[in-house]
Structure 1
Amino acid sequence: MPEAAPPRRRGRIQLLLILMVVIGPMLLATAMYKFSFWVPEGRSYHGTLIGNGQTLADLGVQGEAAGDTWRLLVTAPANCEADCQELVYMARQIHIGLGRDASRATHALAANAIPADYDEQLRRDYPRLERHGLDAAAYGKATEDLGGARLWIVDPHGNLVLRYDGGIKGKQILNDLRHLLKLSNIG
């Protein structure tokens, strides 16, 4: 019959096992970060993540209103043509689609020029739409001359979070914004 391990030795083994359970995951996570292995390739958002600390001022948005809500901002560096108008409509529909969280967000338009007939339609059909000017030179510098209208999700501090090009489905943007609102304690 084999002899049982002395209590002191068994206690040391238990201590080592406990330390491995506690410290092991931290060491593994550090190694994964440092050497970039087992890093997931997938992502849970549909737009382009803006992670460089750009703000509305960097984008060239003029007369921005200080607020404590998230924004769906449509930018049009030239005239607000069909693609811009479609994104303005989509931003309003996304805002409505937020339901009970709609008070935590607003929708806005930053454009250089708006056709007179569309300007009248905006005043009539979009009374809650925030409107801002857009400095084309600053916009071109900040976005590396992206042409056409874009939709941006902006946090309550004025930081750009996600950018969407025309042609994206509103449901994808709505899902991204809902996820951000769920994770956010601000706005």
Structure 2
Amino acid sequence: MNSATMPAPRASGLPMLLLIVGVLVLPFVIATGLYFGGWQPTRTLQHGQLLTPPPALPGSGLADVSGRAVATAELHGKWLLVLNLDGPCATGCAARLDELRRIQVSLNKEMGRLRRVVLAPSTSDPALADAARRQPDLLLFAAPPHWLGTPAADGYRLHIIDPLGQRVIDYPAAVGGNELRFDLDRLLKFAWTG
């Protein structure tokens, strides 16, 4: 046989195969190392404080506008955006209620999954009664002091409650409407409950 007609020996494909497998496995190795190393990102996308584990709502203590005791189980089934007041509803509180309504409406097709709730020391506050008259879908309840924890220094705080009755995110009173809308949009997009 003539050596000019013999095919050249083929190079082994093993190095290329190992390179491809290494590139595919490397992200999993890095992710596992970060997870078991306890690494946490310094900045997260949510603007509120995520509560882990989420505390459940107290089972009782609420009263509606007519004074009837309301079990918190009646509020389960939808996401709740709760405005927790420490005192009477002042000008800033009334503006915040209008802003929360606009945020809910801006959620478009997801707006039906959310209910707005106001917890106040008393439901006889004229500003709250006016807000409930202008916004019939607003739920107004009298709650004992510190029923959901201590309100913020300026008298109110926002909470997001999941459909199972667990407080999942707390917000300071100073959180902006755009930040709250961003969090709600992401939450309702990825949550299957409620």
Structure 2: gaps (5+ residues)? 1-7, 63-69
Which residue number in structure 2 is paired with residue 28 of structure 1? 30
TM-score, normalising length from structure 1?
0.76
**What is the identity percentage for the equivalent residue pairs of Structure 1 and Structure 2?**
25
Aligned pair 1:45/2:46, yes or no? yes
Aligned residue for 1:139, secondary structure, equals: coil
CA distance in 1, matches of 2:184, 2:158: 12
**How far off is 1:22 after superposition?**
4.8
**How far off is 1:156 after superposition?**
1.3
Pairs aligned (count)? 177
CA distance in 1, matches of 2:148, 2:129: 25
Q: Which has the larger radius of gyration?
A: 2
CA distance in 1, matches of 2:166, 2:108: 24
2:160 to 153, 165, 175: 153
**8 Å Cα contact 1:87-1:151 kept in structure 2:** no
1:125 to 121, 127, 134: 134
Which residue number in structure 2 is paired with residue 103 of structure 1? 112
**8 Å Cα contact 1:76-1:150 kept in structure 2:** yes
In structure 2, the CA distance between the partners of 1:90 and 1:131, relative to structure 1 (3 Å rule), is same
Give the residue type in structure 1 aligned to 2:169.
L
Structure 1: gaps (5+ residues)? none
What does 1:107-186 correspond to in 2, within 5 Å?
A: 107-114=116-123, 116-140=125-149, 143=150, 146-147=152-153, 148-186=155-193
Q: Deviations over 1:155-182 (max 9, x none)?
A: 2112222222223221221111011111
Indicate the RMSD between aligned Cα atoms, in angstroms: 2.9
Give the residue type in structure 1 aligned to 2:50.
L
CA distance in 1, matches of 2:132, 2:75: 21
Aligned residue for 1:167, secondary structure, equals: coil
Q: Deviations over 1:135-154 (max 9, x none)?
A: 224434xx4x6442011122
Q: Deviations over 1:19-50 (max 9, x none)?
A: 5345433221111122245x542321222222
Give the residue type in structure 1 aligned to 2:117.
A
Give the residue type in structure 1 aligned to 2:36.
K
In structure 2, the CA distance between the partners of 1:35 and 1:118, relative to structure 1 (3 Å rule), is same
**How far off is 1:105 after superposition?**
1.0
More helix by share: 1
Give the residue type in structure 1 aligned to 2:140.
R
In structure 2, the CA distance between the partners of 1:94 and 1:49, relative to structure 1 (3 Å rule), is same
Give the residue type in structure 2 aligned to 1:136.
P
TM-score, normalising length from structure 2?
0.74
